[in-house]
Amino acid sequence: MFAGICMFVAEINCMQIKVKIPFLFVAVLTWIVIISSCANQGMPTGGPKDSLPPVLLETSPAFRALNFDGDRVKFTFDEYVISDAVSEMLVISPPLEKKPTIRTKGKALIIQFNEELKDSTTYSLDFKNSIADNNERNEYKNMRFSFSTGPVYDSLRVAGRLMNAFNLEAVDKGLIVLQKNLHDSAVFRVRPDYIAKTDEKGFFMIDNIAPGTYNIFAINDANNNLLYDEGAEEFAFIDSVIVPSAKFFAEPDTVVDGADSLLISGHTQFYPGPIFLHQFTEDIFDQYLDDYKRKTRYKCEFDFSESVADTFNVRLIGFNTNNWYQLEYNDKMDSMSLWITDTTIAQNDTLFMELSYFQLDSMAERYVQKDTLEMVFIKKEKKKTKKKKRSKETKEDKPKPIEQFSWISNAGSSTFELNNDIYLKAPEPVSFFDSTQVVLYLTDDTLKTPLKIEFSKDTSTWRKYVIKYNWEPETGYTLEIDSAACTNIYGITSRRFVKKFVTREEDYYGSVIVKATNVYCPMLVQLLKNDDDETVLFEHTIEKDGTVVFDYLAPGKYKAKVIYDENGNGKWDTGSYQDKYQPEKVGYENEVIKVRSNWDKELLWDMKPDNSFIKNIRDLELEEQKRKAAEKKAREERENPKRPANNLNNMMQGGGNMRGTDIIR
């Protein structure tokens, strides 16, 4: 009896709930409509973002088709595509004389050839990442297509990497060419048989090559003529010909079950292996006067495209005088400053000069080139200023002060580095300098006892003098030079010079100790700035295995580089295709060097050259910081998941107060 009553009550309650459900549903739906209509208006999202690249459905002709005799190829995709980048990035090999017409029709991309294709030739079309869908610009990655105009499909390939010879940076969009004509001049005059372009990492692949013997080159093809313009473009070559080939390596599949014979699979190995090309600018003698100017009455500047060492002469037209100038060259001796030492001549606003230097004719024979130049000095007008009325006491003019010049120096009030030398530089050429008037003493020494210094003229820079001393850390020094200790070529003397400075504490510095092995020639070991310019900060030369110490280094990050200075001239030398020698090799330590105060950083460096070395200098400290930051972010997201911004959801869970004013708003 009791059980029956309970069942009846349950049925009644169920009926009541069923009656209430429509009312609850209507109420909730009404509330959603009100909230939606009162919210900030915006554009509909349109569903999830399209992140998929277009799908290639059909090609005409078929991939690797034989005996193709058409004049166009067609690619049909599952969606509309854009072809804006195709004309720039598409590489067709063998190269065509005329550019093809590129267009889209519906969901198809059409490449229309504007010339007759060669017979019995396999053509390769490398689109790279130039094809993308029309909506979100999703790229179809690394699309390649090929076909043959004859009964044979060529499938050999050559791959490798192109790098800048001086800094080993990858060369993007470099032109790689294969020449079947093996004559040295073919790269200048004959269109290549096959071409490819490098990607942003310098990698390239030329495929669908016919059997044969080839020369391979890299060209920075600035004028798009597919030929090497000697001296005007960057260039790379290897010292031998290449013979592309391939070999199939069979690999029996023993996993196949229930078969009478084994399933044979495998892979094809292409030869030669990766080719590493190092691009350089050939130093071709092409002399000409690049620029000239007269900045002041007393100074003229000339810039040449080549060195004018032992070949330069200048004659002043209209004056019968000798010893009227003094020359200063830069390190390469392709730029010079001419100081007019005769003040009478310098007062002329316009001077005519005849420059003489060697030039090469069309037969590469030297002759004397003469240029007549008009050197004009334009005096800048001073801004007019209102003159103040002078009092009666200052009516008489004061005597004009004696003109003197000031020294330029790195000695100053800031902290002086222990590994630095003091330099002094005069603004004009010097005729006399009494070095005994240069005195260095301890600032605290009231007697000003002179310290024993090493004073010399800098042989690498004009008008520069160097003061060397074995500095003590955290010590105050004073450098003093008497007035008129130096006289320039115009008879102007130097001002009195006094500079006080304090040296830095010794434990501020760190050091890098390089232990070099497999040193087989003179090598320049360099410590560089940790930036894109890689400015050389310090350099040592080694000729055998040993230790190189870079000391007194400020805390920070550095890069290390080596130049294989095989000719021992103390600098990096470019290559020459004319004389068939490669640029001098370089190498890097592929890790940023962190220098800490009062700490020695040891570096074991095998100097054996590696032609396949890829520069990829990693900052391990920065990578570790990024890894920890990513882990921290992921951990915080796991511990504090974002709550959905859904007012209805929060209210149903009791997460908010529902007020009439809020709904109306």
**CATH number for position 116:** 2.60.40.1220
pLDDT at 36: 41
Asked if residue 390 is part of any domain, the answer here is: no
In a domain, 26, yes or no: yes
52, part of any domain:
no
One domain, residues 231 and 307: no
Q: Classify residue 201 by burial, with Cβ atoms within 10 Å: 0-12, 13-18, 19+.
A: middle
Which H/E stretch holds residue 84?
Answer: none
Sheet-wide strand order for 430-433 = 404-405, 493-494, 486-488, 430-433
Q: Assign 456 to helix, strand or coil.
A: strand
* Assigned domain for 392 exists: no
Contact 274, 202 (CB under 8 A): no
Task: Judge contact between 286 and 231, C-beta under 8 A.
Answer: yes
Cβ atoms of 342 and 322 within 8 Å: the answer is no
Same domain, 221 and 295: no
Single-letter residue type at 167: N
At 316, which CATH number? 2.60.40
Question: What are the strands of the beta sheet with 464-468, ordered from one edge?
Answer: 408-409, 422-425, 464-468, 454-457
**Are 439 and 480 a contacting pair, CB within 8 Å?**
yes
- Report the distance separating Cα 589 and Cα 606, nearest Å: 10
The residue out of 491, 506, 521 marking a domain boundary is: 506
Query: Under a CB-based contact definition with an 8 Å cutoff, are residues 419 and 477 in contact?
Result: no
Inside any domain, residue 275: yes
CA distances to 128, 177, 190 from 208, rounded to whole Å, are: 16, 14, 20
Q: Does residue 99 sit in the same domain as residue 192? A: no
**Rg (Cα) of the chain, in Å, rounded?**
39
- Kindly state whether residues 409 and 480 are assigned to the same domain: yes
- DSSP character string of 278-293: EEEE-------EEEEE
- DSSP percent split of the chain into helix, strand, coil, nearest 5: 15, 40, 50
Q: How far apart are alpha carbons 67 and 508 in whole angstroms? A: 75
CA dihedral 612, 616, 617, 621 (to 10 degrees): -130
What are the per-10-residue average pLDDT scores of the chain (665 residues)? 41 41 42 40 53 92 96 95 92 96 95 96 95 90 95 96 97 97 95 96 96 97 92 93 93 59 75 96 88 94 90 92 91 92 94 92 84 92 61 59 92 88 96 96 95 94 95 96 95 95 96 97 97 95 96 96 96 94 96 96 95 93 93 89 51 40 33
- Detail the DSSP E strand segments found in 233-391: 234-237, 245-253, 263-271, 275-281, 289-296, 299-304, 313-317, 325-329, 335-340, 350-360, 366-376
Residues 561 and 574 placed together within one structural domain of the fold:
yes
The answer to whether the predicted template modeling score (pTM) of the entire model surpasses 0.85 is no
User: Quick one: 9 exposed, middle or buried, by C-beta within 10 A (0-12, 13-18, 19+)?
Assistant: exposed
With a CB cutoff of 8 Å and minimum separation 6, the contacts of 74 are 59, 60, 108, 109, 110, 111
Q: Are 162 and 191 in a shared domain?
A: yes
What is the per-residue pLDDT across 513-545, written as a single tens digit (0 to 9) for each? 999 999 999 999 999 999 999 999 999 999 999
Whether residue 534 is found in the same domain as residue 436? no
Q: Which residue has the tokens 């050939």?
A: 282
Task: Please tell me whether residue 19 adopts helix, strand or coil conformation.
Answer: helix
C-alpha torsion sign, points 601, 602, 608, 613: negative
d(CA 516, CA 597): 24
Last residue of a domain, one of 450, 481, 506: 506
User: For residue 498, what are the domain limits?
Assistant: 404-506
Residue at 47 is within a domain: no
DSSP assignment letter at 437: G
DSSP code per residue over 118-171: PTT-EEEEEEET-EEETTT--EETTEEEEEESSS----EEEEEEEEETTT-PBP
DSSP state of 233: S
Looking at the domain assignment, is residue 254 inside a domain? Answer: no
Q: Is 381 inside a domain boundary? A: no
Residues 614 and 551 in one domain: yes
| Cα Dmax for the chain | 144
pLDDT of residue 361: 82
C-alpha angle with apex 275: 271 to 279, nearest 5 degrees?
160
Q: In whole angstroms, give the CA distance from residue 68 to residue 91.
A: 19
The CATH number linked to 195 is 2.60.40.1120
Place of tokens 């001239």: 569
Number of structural domains (the chain) is: 7
| Domain identity same for 412 and 429 | yes
How many Cβ atoms are within 10 Å of 279's Cβ, its own excluded?
A: 25
Whether omega before 272 lies within 30 degrees of 0, making that bond cis, reads yes
User: Do residues 191 and 92 lie in contact, with contact meaning Cβ atoms separated by under 8 Å?
Assistant: no
Q: What are phi and psi of 241, to 5 degrees?
A: -75, 165
What is each CA distance from 659 to 21, 38, 41, 647, 664, in whole angstroms?
Answer: 23, 14, 21, 12, 9
Closest by CA position to 536, among listed 565, 563, 574: 563
d(CA 642, CA 470): 63
Whether 80 and 112 share a structural domain? yes
